[in-house]
Chains A and B, each alone.
Chain A
Amino acid sequence: MTSTTSRRAQHSVVPARSGSRTRSRWDRFGLPSLLLAPLLAVILGVVGYPIVRTVWLSFHEGEYLMTGAFNGVDNYTEIFGDPYFLAALLRTTVFAVVCVVTTLLISLAIALVLDAGSWTARIVTVVVLLPWAMPRVASGIIWKWMFNDQYGIANWLLVSLGFDSFRGYAWFNDGFASLVAITIAVVWHSVPFIAISMLAGLRATRGEVLEAARVDGAGFYQQLIRVRLPMMKPLLTILGVMSTIFAYQSFDHFLVMTTPPGGPSHSTEVLSLLTWLQAFTVLDQGVAAAMAVVTFVLLAGITAVYVRLSKEGT
């Protein structure tokens, strides 16, 4: 199709010019709408409609994946009276805060190391990004194996370092220890993207301002805290939002690493897992939709706070 149009255009340069008015209108409205149409169709069809539908479902009964009668805010009163949901809400929040703080700090450290290194940094950069490419399901399984009680490499390492109480320690028999292991696996997976983005941000701060600070005698930490990090504030905000949202959405690692999912005895249930189980195992989509809406509102709120904070500073 492209070739015929262009060939025709080649022969009709002059007539096309004389009709420039119709052409410009086409250029201004017709063409862009045509180009945007597929994107808009996808956004409306598989994103917009589902959101509206989820909100609508959350006000209806919905057992066995059939939509029942309107029941007002019953689903919401049900989940906010459900100790498991409230526990999952709190657990997910704590998990997300820990994940975000560790991810950002480790990423910053890695970015600084890579920024300071010379040619070797280029190869190390690829190595750093590699864990991001590993499927989450696979990485969950591998970390679970490394945290195996009898034969896991983590316990072997801890025992060899002198922590004898970890001999045969069963990480997944207890909610807190499971969450520690899962946090490590999730952070390992989420650091690469953030670290590489921060590296790009750090590189962009090199220049006159930093040079001036150096000439004025600012040390490494002063340069970092007074000049470079403030310059990176917009980027840091985005990365903060992104890692918060990723952490709140963690699903694969939890499904793979805990048996039964969310166990032992509900002690590792997080929002996404609980919502999914509610919808497709308990088969109550009304209640599940209410949980999804709560997550959505929570994340939207967090994003708004981040954006507000980053604007206030500048």
Chain B
Amino acid sequence: MTRRLVVYPAMVLICVVSLFPFFWMIVTSLKPDTEIFTVSPQFIPHEPILSRYTELFSGAIPRQFLNSLLVAGATTVVTGLIALLAGYALARFNVPMKRYLLIVILSIQMLPQTVLVIPLFVVLRNTDLLGTYQGLVLSHLALTVGLATYMLRSFFLDIPVSLEESAMVDGASRMKAVRLVVFPLVWPGLAASSIYGFITSWNELMFSATYMQQSSRETLPVALQQFFSSYYSDWGGVMAASVIFTIPVVVFFLLVQRRLMQGMVAGAVKG
């Protein structure tokens, strides 16, 4: 009885609060200005228009979208590789000072970004990487590598060592045992750390705004922030740009959400 009276209405409320900003962003981007600037809000556009999107796509947005995709994609792949190797090593070997290494890995996640942003600027400038994709990817690794390694380690720990050992007793090299026996099982962990890396890099603003000042190399968060500060009252256009920016992460997220939650839960509960 209490379940019906409390739990279900609460669930409806939770869903409304979670989803309304998404809904409102999409609806606003589709409404002509006359329907946006009304005293009482119009929840359904009467004459939906797509002109804001076509306008944006003929501008710099495709380029910026590509830049973001490139940076986030590269960050994801590199993070995955590093974390896969390190996660395996930390789960299976008696590495000296492992305890401290794990603490360091976890505390990276807790670092204020402002501690990194100034010296990385100097490093990138001195190595001529300022304003390059490689430079930005490098800076994003600082944000992703720690938690990804930790997540993958906990996935490796869940796979019984006996599986690899029996494969190795049967004559397989460690490499082969890992590739054929362990890797297929750790796949969900890799998916989880990948989406984490992708979302982190795709959304990151402070490093991107500082290091990518050339307009042709701008990523979406920077472009959107600048678009917003210069076309302040064009709410429809800003919303359309926000939709374009949001869609890829949401789609990627929905595709792998189950894996992601497994990974997050593993990270949180065992951490």
Which A residues are within 8 Å of any B CB, using their own CB? 2, 5-6, 9-10, 13, 16, 27-28, 31-32, 35-36, 38-39, 42-43, 45-47, 49-51, 53-54, 57, 65, 67, 109-110, 113-114, 116-117, 120-121, 124-139, 141-143, 145-146, 148, 150-151, 153, 156, 188, 192-193, 196-197, 200-201, 204, 235, 238-239, 241-242, 245, 248-249, 251-252, 255-256, 259, 271-272, 275-276, 279-280, 285, 288-289, 291-293, 295-296, 299, 303
**Can you add 12 more A-B contacts, CB < 8 Å, to A46-B123, A128-B18, A259-B232?**
A28-B93, A50-B116, A113-B7, A120-B8, A137-B203, A141-B238, A146-B21, A150-B37, A188-B17, A200-B269, A249-B113, A289-B118
**What is the minimal beta-carbon distance from B186 to any residue of chain A, in angstroms?**
14
Question: Would you list which residues of chain B between 1 and 18 have a CB under 8 Å from chain A?
Answer: 3, 6-8, 10-11, 14-15, 17-18
Name A23's closest neighbour in chain B (CB-CB). Answer: B174
Partner of B268, one of A135, A142, A235: A235
* CB pair A291 B25 closer than 8 Å: no
| B184 interface residue per 8 A CB criterion | no
16 A-B residue pairings within 8 Å (CB atoms):
A35-B89, A45-B138, A46-B116, A53-B118, A116-B3, A129-B260, A135-B245, A136-B205, A138-B242, A142-B242, A156-B39, A271-B114, A276-B210, A279-B117, A288-B118, A303-B110
Among B14, B105, B117, contact of A113 (Cβ-Cβ < 8 Å): B14
Our pick among A35, A126, A141, A249 for the contact of B112 (Cβ within 8 Å) is: A249
- Cβ–Cβ contact B119 & A156, under 8 A: no
The chain A residue with its CB closest to the CB of B108 is A47
**A239/B114 contact (C-beta < 8 A), A36-B89, A126-B254, A255-B205 known:** no
Rounded to whole angstroms, the CA-CA distance of A264 and B68 in the bound complex is 31
Q: Known contacts A38-B85, A130-B250, A235-B268: does B122 contact A153 (CB below 8 Å)? A: no
Taking beta carbons and an 8 Å cutoff, which residues of B are in contact with A?
3, 6-8, 10-11, 14-15, 17-19, 21-22, 24-25, 28, 36-41, 81-83, 85-86, 88-90, 93-95, 101, 104-105, 107-108, 110-123, 125, 138-139, 141-142, 145-146, 149, 171-176, 179, 199, 202-203, 205-206, 209-210, 220-221, 224-225, 228-229, 232, 235, 238-239, 242, 245-246, 249-250, 252-254, 257, 260-261, 264-265, 268-269, 271
The contact of B14 among A127, A139, A248, by CB within 8 Å, is A127
Alpha-carbon separation in the docked complex, A27 to B164 (Å): 14
Check B268–A201 contact: CB distance below 8 A.
Answer: yes
Among A39, A204, A249, A289, the one with the most B-chain Cβ atoms within 10 Å of its Cβ is: A39
Residues of B close to A51: CB separation below 8 A: 111, 115-116, 119
Which of A249, A288, A292 is packed against the most chain B CB atoms within 10 Å?
A292
